[in-house]
Amino acid sequence: MGNYLKVADRQRILALLELGWTYRRIERETGVRRETIAKYHRALQSNPANPTTGSAADVVGQGNSGGQKRPNPTAGSAPGPPSACEPFRAEIAEMLRRGLTAQRIWQELCTEYGFAHGYESVKRFVRQERGRRPEVADVMEHLPGKEGQVDYFKSPAPVLNPTTGKWSRPWIFRMTLSCSRHGYEEPMWRQQRDDFLRAHEHAFLAFGGVPAVVRIDNLKAGVARACLYDPDVNEVYAAFARHWGFVPLPCRPYHPEENGIEERSGGYVKSNGLKGMRFDSIEALAAHLCHWNTTVAQLRIHGTTRRQVIRHFLEVEKPALQPLPADRFSLFEVGTRRVHDDGHVEVKAAFYSVPHTLVGRDVRVHWDGNLVRVYRDGRAIAVHTRIEAGSWSTRPEHRPVHKPARQEAYEATQLARIEKIGPQVLAWAKEAVLERDVRSYRLLQGVLRLTRTHPKERIDWACGVALERRAFRYQTLKRLLEEAALRAQQPQLRQRHELIRDLVEYRSVMTTTHQPLATRQTPAAVLAGEARNEPSTTSDTWETTP
């Protein structure tokens, strides 16, 4: 049952109409929509005959005194008062031709012509004037093999969904060649990217060639970001287009006329091929569409081209299509990943290494059933074979030199660094690995840490002592080094040096000092006597010295 106004509200509206109030004013006063007010106004008035334009009744008419021509109102509408902008129609038309906005026109009317009404009056008048001027559209001519248009539409025929057990309406993929209007249809339950790309392939195979341009709507499977001037095509769809050799061309947002051929073709499929039908499975729907296309759609004479669709396609468009590639496109998935602290990225619960310099940064990952490719700034930086979930794929070149990922590689790296300290340290480290196995790795780190506080020679000596005693503990090496450092700090007098004279020279000097001049011997004589093993009088001289 429809909605009706209460008697009091209806009587109020009729009373205001008799006072000559406009629909807009009554709407502001009562809150009732103007369409409803007009309905009650028409019921209030009598229904005079609609005379033929130009007849005497139209000119004179009942109640139309003055002999002026009465307007022929549109059925279902009531004439309202003339617009306040009507006297300025010519001026407003000129301003519209100059491209001025309604706000600017209102300002010009107020300033130049003393317009005393509000902006809303000008805006309504400008809207009506613009609606009266139809926009000129260009005729789009399509060369053979130049363009194909793609779109989805809901099937009007319900299909039994095996997943839910209910009747549902699937999506119909449709590709139409713009020149011959030959098309291909394929039903599917979801608008997934893989199904979208495979439907493209099936259409190309059915046509026996590829058009140069494929115009698509702004669906997510093909367009990542819709934009009026520079839309971003989906990364996978762009790779798919390069493989098949066509250029994807997204339509402008909110401009369905750019994909008009496909829009009309989809309507033809719905009205002629599917309306009023029902299918038990989506396979049955696909078989019906194939049969209908072959027996009906291809054989019709198209209303625009005035030619039979299949003949036009075979004679004109198919020779102009690009040849098919040798193999089909390998579908893959894409995603952005943040490199973990361990230098790996996660893909489907598996981990793949990248260069360690990219830790903490975002990379682009492409993966399929066989390979995982990692890209940075459009350049491939790593390629891995796909592994199962929970596994790790690590390339040695991706790890830093001082932090290898594998246990054997880490052991070899530590021993190579220890070898630079000394041979005894290396021998002790190898024996420590054999003695303590994986627990020795931290011990090797401790030995390398000791090089910051002790010289290499001392560490090499301490490791030699520890190796003789078969001591493979960090504290043992530390005590040996501390004791060696303590002994090195105690001062020791040197007995031999180039600046220190020999004691023989001091004895010679003392002897010559206490002997008489006659018996004194020069240091050279003393040395010569010692060389001949002659007894020296130096001792006697030292003994007689007071």
Q: Does a structural domain hold residue 66?
A: no
- State the number of CA atoms in the 13 A half-sphere of 448 facing the CB: 15
> Residues 117, 123, 128, CA angle at the centre, nearest 5°?
120
- Token code pair at residue 261: 């051929």
Indicate if the alpha-carbon torsion angle 36, 40, 41, 46 is positive or negative.
Answer: positive
Indicate if the alpha-carbon torsion angle 202, 203, 208, 211 is positive or negative.
Answer: negative
Q: Tell me the C-alpha to C-alpha distance, in Å, between residue 365 and each of 197, 334, 377, 388.
A: 20, 6, 11, 17
- The secondary structure of residue 301, as a DSSP letter, is B
Give the residue among 4, 82, 76, 71 at the shortest CA–CA distance from 41. 76
Q: Does a structural domain hold residue 51?
A: no
Q: Does a structural domain hold residue 69?
A: no
Give CA–CA dist 462/464, Å, rounded. 5
Q: Does a structural domain hold residue 296?
A: yes
Q: Which helix (H) or strand (E) holds 454?
A: none
The number of distinct structural domains making up the chain is 6
User: Based on the domain organization, do 122 and 187 belong to the same domain?
Assistant: no
User: Based on the domain organization, do 461 and 394 belong to the same domain?
Assistant: no
Domain with residue 276: its CATH number is 3.30.420.10
Q: What is the separation, in whole angstroms, between the first and last Cα of the chain?
A: 151
Residue with tokens 């830790």: 359
User: Based on the domain organization, do 173 and 312 belong to the same domain?
Assistant: yes
Residue 399: burial class (beta carbons within 10 Å; 0-12, 13-18, 19+): buried
Give CA–CA dist 175/111, Å, rounded. 56
- Token code pair at residue 338: 């943040």
User: Based on the domain organization, do 520 and 475 belong to the same domain?
Assistant: no
Residue 14: burial class (beta carbons within 10 Å; 0-12, 13-18, 19+): middle
Question: Which among 294, 320, 346 is the end of a domain?
Answer: 320
The maximal CA–CA distance of the chain, rounded, in angstroms, is 180
Q: Does a structural domain hold residue 71?
A: no
User: Based on the domain organization, do 384 and 432 belong to the same domain?
Assistant: no
Q: Does a structural domain hold residue 78?
A: no
Give the residue among 481, 473, 489, 424 at the shortest CA–CA distance from 452. 481
Q: Name the residue range of residue 512's domain.
A: 503-543
Domain with residue 38: its CATH number is 1.10.10
Give the residue among 282, 313, 317 at the shortest CA–CA distance from 298. 313
pLDDT of residue 537: 44
CB 167 within 8 Å of CB 159: yes
User: Based on the domain organization, do 203 and 313 belong to the same domain?
Assistant: yes
CB 160 within 8 Å of CB 279: yes
Q: Does a structural domain hold residue 517?
A: yes
User: Based on the domain organization, do 527 and 485 belong to the same domain?
Assistant: no
pLDDT in 10s for each residue of the chain, 546 residues:
456 788 888 888 888 888 888 888 898 888 888 888 888 888 776 555 555 444 444 444 444 444 444 444 444 445 567 888 988 988 998 888 888 888 889 988 988 888 888 899 899 899 888 765 555 666 678 899 999 999 999 999 999 999 899 999 999 999 999 999 999 999 999 989 899 999 999 999 999 999 999 999 888 888 988 888 888 898 899 999 999 999 999 998 888 888 889 999 999 999 999 988 999 999 999 999 999 999 999 999 998 899 999 999 999 999 999 999 988 898 888 999 999 988 899 999 999 999 988 999 999 999 988 899 999 988 999 999 999 999 999 888 887 766 655 677 778 888 888 999 999 999 999 998 888 888 888 888 888 989 888 999 989 998 999 998 888 888 988 898 888 888 877 666 677 778 777 777 777 666 655 555 545 455 455 445 544 454 444 444 333 333
User: Based on the domain organization, do 158 and 305 belong to the same domain?
Assistant: yes
Give CA–CA dist 339/352, Å, rounded. 10
Give CA–CA dist 169/161, Å, rounded. 9
User: Based on the domain organization, do 461 and 528 belong to the same domain?
Assistant: no
Calculate the CA 452 to chain-centre distance. 47
CB 438 within 8 Å of CB 401: no
User: Based on the domain organization, do 160 and 296 belong to the same domain?
Assistant: yes
Q: Does a structural domain hold residue 57?
A: no
Q: What pTM was computed for the model?
A: 0.54
| Cβ-based neighbours of 102, under 8 Å, separated by 6 or more | 119, 122, 123, 126, 127
User: Based on the domain organization, do 464 and 371 belong to the same domain?
Assistant: no
User: Based on the domain organization, do 299 and 185 belong to the same domain?
Assistant: yes
